[in-house]
């Protein structure tokens, strides 16, 4: 009996999938809430409201995390561009 395992499927052709980012088009402060809304397919107004309330209730701790995300997350120009990159194959 051979113990050869089947080769894993090729990653080519698979969509990249959702990813966290900042979106510039329609941003208020950095575009992070818009990026979260695009990632989860939520209404951006709800995301902004939740982030504001959590920032107030955390004593500003979420505000520090928000500022760190401004430095770390990649920037995407528009929601349409985010959707194009999300649905594009991993390796073109």
Q: How much is the pLDDT for 28?
A: 81
User: Is-contact 16 85, C-beta < 8 A?
Assistant: yes
Instruction: Tokens for 41, please give them.
Output: 């397919």
pLDDT at 12: 55
- Annotated domain spans of the chain: 22-77
Nearest to 33 by CA among 56, 61, 55: 55
DSSP secondary structure, 1-56, as one string: ---PPPPPPPSTTSB------EE-TT-SSTTHHHHHHHHHT--HHHHHHHHHHHHH
Q: What is the mean pLDDT of residues 40-49?
A: 91
What would the mean pLDDT of 36-58 be, rounded to a whole number?
A: 90
pLDDT at 42 over 50: yes
Radius of gyration of the chain (CA): 18
Predicted local confidence at residue 4, as pLDDT: 52
């Amino acid at each position: 009996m051979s113990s050869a395992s089947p080769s894993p499927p090729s990653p080519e052709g698979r969509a990249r999938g959702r990813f966290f980012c900042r979106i510039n088009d329609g941003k208020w402060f950095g575009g992070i809430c818009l990026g979260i809304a695009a990632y989860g397919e939520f209404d951006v107004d709800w995301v902004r409201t939740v982030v504001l309330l959590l920032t107030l209730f955390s004593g500003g701790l979420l505000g520090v995390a928000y500022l760190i995300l401004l430095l770390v997350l990649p920037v995407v120009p528009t929601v349409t561009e985010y959707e194009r990159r999300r649905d594009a194959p991993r390796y073109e």
